[in-house]
Amino acid sequence: MDRAAIRERYLRDNVAVRLGGLAANLLRINSFASRETNSTVVESLLDESKFFIEWTAREVEIERAAELVELQVQLARWQHNWLSIWNDSIQRKRVAEQSHLWSTRVLDMSGLLDA
């Protein structure tokens, strides 16, 4: 993965669209976590989402930045414990559910649905 190219492309969008992209990634995690064969895809989405937060958090209000950093820490925790999470269907389901909740929150934060 060419992270520099992804970063350049990601930063072309305004903050609202970037947050929408992050929300979409989180929803993909929710969706892909339902199949055991998608472990590497979900792990890649976790990693990419952490970078999306890093590239965006400094451009939002401090309260929203704090929420994004909280999400980033959660993503890092999941990634750190990924093998045990993925091999436990209950933990994997919990990650899926929490990803869905975060997706909803980040989409709300983006303001894209207000327009």
Q: 29-51: per-residue pLDDT in tens?
A: 999 998 888 999 999 999 999 99
**CA pair distance 28, 45, nearest whole angstrom:** 8
49, 70, 66: which is closest to 58 by C-alpha?
Answer: 66
Mean pLDDT of 52-58: 96
Q: What is the extent of the structural domain holding 64?
A: 3-110
Q: Is residue 102 a part of any domain in this protein?
A: yes
Q: Is residue 16 a part of any domain in this protein?
A: yes
pLDDT at 1: 62
**CA pair distance 13, 64, nearest whole angstrom:** 18
Cα torsion 63, 73, 44, 84: sign: negative
Residue 34 sits in a domain whose CATH number is: 1.20.120
Q: Is residue 37 a part of any domain in this protein?
A: yes
Q: Is residue 115 a part of any domain in this protein?
A: no
Q: Quick check: pTM over 0.75?
A: yes
Q: Is residue 20 a part of any domain in this protein?
A: yes
Q: ∠ at Cα 76 (104, 93), nearest 5°?
A: 55
pLDDT at 34: 85
How many domains does the chain fold into?
A: 1
